[in-house]
Amino acid sequence: MAAITFRALARASIAALIAAGSAGVAAAQSGEVNVYTYREQKLIQPLFDAFTKDTGIKVNVVSASSGLEQRIKTEGANSPADVLLTVDIGRLEDAVQAGITQPIKSSTIDKAVPAQYRDPEGHWAGVSMRARVVYASKERVKQDTITYEELADPKWKGKICIRSGQHIYNNALIAAMIAKHGEAKAQAWLTGLKANLAQKPSGGDRETARDVAAGKCDLGIGNTYYYPLMQNNPQQKDWADATKVILPTFEGGGTHVNISGVVLAKNAPHKAEAMKLIDWLAGDTAQQMYANSVYEYPVKAGIAVNPAIASFGPLKPDALPIVKIGQNKKAAANLVDKVGFDN
Reported confidence tier of residue 220, pLDDT bands at 50, 70, 90: very high
Nearest to 63 by CA among 91, 93, 41: 41
Average pLDDT, the chain: 91
CATH code that applies to domain 130-256+314-338: 3.40.190.10
Reported confidence tier of residue 17, pLDDT bands at 50, 70, 90: very low
Domain with CATH 3.40.190.10 in the chain: 31-129+258-307, 130-256+314-338
Q: Alpha helix locations (H) across the chain?
A: 2-18, 21-29, 41-55, 68-75, 89-97, 107-112, 168-181, 183-195, 205-213, 226-231, 237-241, 271-281, 284-293, 307-310, 322-327, 329-338
Q: Residue 35: enclosing H or E segment and its boundaries?
A: strand 32-37
Q: What is the pLDDT of residue 205?
A: 97
pLDDT tens-digit map of 77-102: 999 999 999 999 999 999 999 999 99
Reported confidence tier of residue 240, pLDDT bands at 50, 70, 90: very high
pLDDT tens-digit map of 271-299: 999 999 999 999 999 999 999 988 999 99
What is the mean pLDDT of the segment spanning 101-115? 97
Task: Give CA–CA dist 91/201, Å, rounded.
Answer: 22
Q: What is the pLDDT of residue 43?
A: 84
> Which of 34-43, 109-118, 252-261 has the lowest average pLDDT?
34-43
pLDDT tens-digit map of 45-83: 999 999 999 999 999 999 998 999 999 999 999 999 999
- Is 276 in contact with 55 (CB distance < 8 Å)? yes
The region, left, alpha or beta by phi > 0 then psi within -120 to 50, assigned to residue 76 is left
Strands 257-265 and 101-102: antiparallel
Would you list the DSSP string of 134-147? Answer: EEEETTT---S--B
More confident residue, 142 or 16: 142
pLDDT tens-digit map of 138-157: 999 999 999 999 999 999 99
Q: What is the pLDDT of residue 149?
A: 98
- Residue 23, pLDDT above cutoff 90: no
Q: What is the pLDDT of residue 124?
A: 97
Q: What is the pLDDT of residue 313?
A: 96
Reported confidence tier of residue 40, pLDDT bands at 50, 70, 90: confident
Domain 31-129+258-307 CATH class label:
alpha beta
Task: Give CA–CA dist 240/206, Å, rounded.
Answer: 9
